[in-house]
Amino acid sequence: MRAHLGDQLVVERTKPGAARRDGEIVGLHHMDGTPPYDVHWSDTDEVALVFPGPDAHIHHPEHERSGTAQGPVAPHIAATEAAFTSDPAAGAADPGDIGRRVAAERRSRGLSLEETARRARMSPGYLSYLEEHPADPSLGALIRLADALGVTAAVLRGAGVDRPPGQGHALLHPRLQELDPGECRALLSSHGLGRIAVSSPDGRPAIVPVNYEVVDDVIAFRTAPYALPAAAVGAEVAFEVDHVDDARSQGWSVLAVGRASEVTDPDAARRLTERAHTTPWPGGARGMWVSIRPTSLTGRRITAADQ
């Protein structure tokens, strides 16, 4: 017995009174597709580890996805499936990445797991499993999730992940609004990657991405004394964070301006290290903490005019 993610495991009735069961295979434990499987049972809406017996067989729904036996495919599903299959990057997605993208999209929209599951017409338990384990949901489940999150199935599969953001068409009636300081602080504290504008040693302007923390309204990031972000120390600098939602052609940005200083107190630097949510992505020895206390904090958001 061999299966793929998204196949159905069907357990036939072998005894009088026994119920036929079926479920979607959402997890494989062997690269060759042999048992056991993680199965999302349709009757209980639960995910369980299953060692199929002789009364079980694999059903491959993708082999019957034609418009003859099952009727024509709905136009919006057909369009989504075309985007889902036409991009080479979509077919190569790591199943574990799908759950991470679903979780990231859900959190960026401020949706709870329960609300997202309700919109996608699936159980919260299955959605939780999908976000936390390597799993490849069926096309129907993926389409429902994409619709619930306001994106496309291709986005959840990772299509176009290497393309720069902001290539979508502008909204027909966009609204550009200024953000108040409270909103700016909230958005600033929710992000983990920002951009700092500094003057390089040769006097040229430069903008460098850095992983950062916000502690008591102070922005702090780690770098190395020889690295370009260290040039911020002692100067007034601009620090920017943003978020772009390509699917909706919406987004926001926050700009902080203030003087940058090196954190020289060992205890303060240690506390920052202990409270840090991430380590600098470039790696290497980057133990120098730089702090920015904003004297100016402004932001803007682009939304649809009717929102």
Range of the domain at 42: 8-63
Same domain? For 151 and 265 the reply is no
Residue at a domain's end among 92, 125, 157 = 157
229-to-63, 90, 211, 239 alpha-carbon distances in Å: 54, 36, 11, 11
- Can you give the pLDDT at residue 235? 94
Q: Residue-wise over 22-48: b if at least 16 C-beta within 10 A, else e?
A: ebbbbbbeeeebebebbbbbeeeeebe
Considering the entire predicted model, what is its pTM? 0.56
Same domain? For 93 and 36 the reply is no
Same domain? For 83 and 147 the reply is yes
Same domain? For 243 and 265 the reply is yes
Same domain? For 295 and 206 the reply is yes
Q: Which two tokens stand for residue 277?
A: 């949510």
Same domain? For 286 and 185 the reply is yes
Residue at a domain's end among 103, 130, 157 = 157
**Would you say residue 127 lies in a domain?**
yes
CATH number of the domain bearing residue 210:
2.30.110.10
Q: Say which DSSP state 258 is in.
A: E
Q: How confident is the model at residue 212 (pLDDT cuts 50, 70, 90)?
A: very high
Same domain? For 267 and 178 the reply is yes
**Which has the closest alpha carbon to 194: 299, 269, 106, 96?**
299
pLDDT digits (tens, 9 = 90+) for 255-294: 999 999 999 999 999 999 988 888 888 888 899 999 999 9
